[in-house]
A = this chain, B = another copy of it.
Amino acid sequence: MNNKIKIGIVGYGNLGRGVESAVTRSSDMELVALLTRRDPATIQTATGIPTYGMDAAASLVGRVDVMILCGGSANDLPTQTPDMAKYFNVIDSFDTHAKIPEHYAKVDEVCKQSGTLGIISVGWDPGLFSLMRCLGQAILPDGADYTFWGKGVSQGHSDAIRRIDGVADARQYTIPVESALQRVRNGENPTLTTREKHTRECFVVAKEGADLAAIEREIVTMPNYFADYDTTVHFITREELDRDHKGIPHGGKVFRCGATGLDGQTKHVMEFGLTLESNPEFTSSVLVAYARAAYRLSKEGQNGCKTVLDIPPAYLHPASGETLRATLL
């Protein structure tokens, strides 16, 4: 036994693979278990992590310090995070914004009963962007928040296009409108409609003989997904899609634009931006940093459910407080 933080992963999709590489590159951590709903014998991980079925969880108590949940918010995390919190400290990236309070309550109850610590909704939005909104509102109470997403691939919008009759495959990019960004950056505090903030660009591979005009019409008029945006549709070949649109880049910007002074006339703009070549790899890296914090807080005797808003930044960093004060301040 060494002193490294022992990390388990639940689920081996893009996020699970990202956690695998982020932990491998963190010298104070090691991977000890992968739990999967598939047949463990069929999974070959990149670094050879011991793989188990989901029912092995109880048998791993004492061997895993923090379990990182890498499933989806719709079907996996609402049950998996509380289930795993019975046995382990847990981290998840639950991102169904409207259901976060309900998920929090469920995880908090299990954690408190079990003496474990959970940090939910970790990643960049929710996650780092939430943290920035908190800082911005606290420092500039008299102001406005702005969030822009992209340029990046929206999985949900890509899936919506794939469900259209005659579509073989598709990739959708969300793109912030540069002039809107600039107005916010200038401190104009504009009121922006959905259409004024983002455009949507779609790359579609049609099935042979499909009605392209009908596909395009169905995309640009699709309620909730595209109707409120200026949407561009490009029909491309399977080869072009595979060659030019294989990555999962994303990113975004959060602004707090506020005023100070007794007369409220002095303007300030706080801006936080991310440009990510791989959305799941960056999200995984955030999960792993918060796993370090969960481990440390748990060692101090804390338990219950937390979010990024509850974690002191120093707990995320491997160096000591003394080193951080000498080098970062």
Contact = CB atoms under 8 A, between A and B. Distances in A.
A314 B311 CA distance: 9
Contacts of A177: none
Interface stretch (A55-63, A168-176, A263-271): A263-271
Given A281-B261, A325-B307, A274 B266 contact: no
B274 A139 contact: no
Contact of A139 (B285, B309, B310): B285
B316 A138 contact: yes
A24 interface: yes
A329 B286 contact: no
Contacts of A140: 285
B281 A266 contact: yes
Contact of A314 (B26, B46, B310, B316): B310
A101 interface: yes
Contacts of A289: 135, 138-139
B134 A314 contact: yes
A278 interface: yes
B309 A313 contact: yes
Interface string A115-137: 00000010000101011011101
A328 interface: yes
Contact of A26 (B20, B26, B141, B273): B141
Contact of A135 (B47, B139, B262, B313): B313
Nearest to A292: B138
A174 to B, nearest CB: 18
A260 interface: yes
A9 interface: no
Interface of A: 18, 20-22, 24-26, 46-47, 97, 100-101, 104, 121, 126, 128, 130-131, 133-135, 137-142, 185, 187, 260-262, 264, 266-278, 281-282, 284-286, 289, 292, 307-314, 316-318, 321-322, 324-326, 328-329
18 contacts: A20-B262, A21-B260, A25-B264, A97-B329, A126-B329, A134-B314, A138-B313, A139-B286, A139-B316, A141-B318, A260-B285, A261-B278, A270-B273, A271-B273, A309-B313, A309-B314, A309-B325, A311-B312
